[in-house]
Amino acid sequence: MYKVYGTLRSRAFRVLWALEELGQPYEVIEAAPRSDEIRAVNRWGKVPALQDGDDIITDSVAIMTYLADKHGGLTHPAGTIARAKQDAMTHRLLDEFDAVLWTATRHAAILPPDLRAPDATAACKWEFEQSANNLSEDFVGPFLTGDVMTIADILAVQCISWARAAEFPPVPQNLRDYAKEMRARPAFTAVVS
Ligand SMILES: N[C@@H](CCC(=O)N[C@@H](CS)C(=O)NCC(=O)O)C(=O)O
């Protein structure tokens, strides 16, 4: 059985949701970022990590990609145009959503206080709003890259939830409706309940 190291309120949520969607059994090892529990398997202290047999895989998107390819769900097959578009969306979300949310988080709570830039959060919020507006204009649905749910959807919805919790500007209505529908999926509710 897979072991997932992390907490619900971290990027580990992405991995847990993917495992539920793929119908794979797993065990959660409650490991806070930088804790001894995570450092035992990832010396950087970053969550999530996935244990598959004797192997440890780090990085939420790398883990989701591995699981999706291995179990043949939440992804288009490698080497197809559909997969290239899915990967482009995944990287767009990492650049435009995850990166700005993470920069704001670091300047608010993680960097040494004397290195925190007072204006960093405002800049990240502004950039996030532009990116959300762009994504909203491109969005056709029902999923981000068309008719098939992929790991890009999990990444997007987790980032939209993170943005809401961090009091970032609300995303446009069509993305809010999309995220609401995604959060109603049985696999999502199985993780949060
Ligand atoms: N790109 C990595 C980022 C992992 C990451 O930064 N995780 C945060 C928690 S969500 C963490 O462990 N932070 C601790 C630190 O930066 O020291 C991923 O997607 O897994």
Domains located in the chain, CATH noted:
2-71 (3.40.30.10), 81-185 (1.20.1050.10)
Distance from residue 140's CA to the centre of ligand 1 (Å): 31
Residue 97: pLDDT band (50, 70, 90) is: very high
Q: Is the CB of 37 under 6 A from ligand 1?
A: no
Q: Identify the pLDDT of residue 28.
A: 98
Does residue 158 contact residue 14 with C-beta atoms inside 8 Å? yes
Q: State the pLDDT at residue 83.
A: 98
Cβ–ligand 1 distance for 158 under 6 Å, the answer no
Q: How far is the CA of 94 from the centre of ligand 1 (A)?
A: 13
CB of residue 61 inside a 6 A radius of ligand 1: yes
CA of 81 to the centre of ligand 1 (A): 30
Give the Å distance between the CA of 171 and the centre of ligand 1: 23
State the pLDDT at residue 67: 98
Q: Is residue 175 within 6 Å of ligand 1 at its C-beta?
A: no
- The Cα–Cα gap between 175 and 89 comes to 15
Is 70 close to ligand 1, i.e. is its CB under 6 Å away? Answer: no
State the closest ligand 1 atom to the C-alpha of 48, by its place in the atom list counted from 1: 20
Residues 6+ apart with CB under 8 A from 51: 2, 3, 4, 5, 41
What is the pLDDT at residue 118? 82
- Compute the CA torsion angle 140, 146, 150, 153 (nearest 10 deg): 0
* DSSP output for 106-149: IIIIIS-GGG--TTHHHHHHHHHHHHHHHHHHH--SSBTTBSS-
- The verdict on the CB of residue 45 being under 6 Å from ligand 1 is yes
> What average pLDDT does the chain have?
97
Identify the three-state secondary structure at position 96: helix
Q: What are 4-49's pLDDT values in tens digits?
A: 999 999 999 999 999 999 999 999 999 999 999 999 999 999 999 9
Residue 146: other Cβ atoms inside 10 A: 14
Q: How many CA atoms lie within 13 A of 15 on its CB side?
A: 30
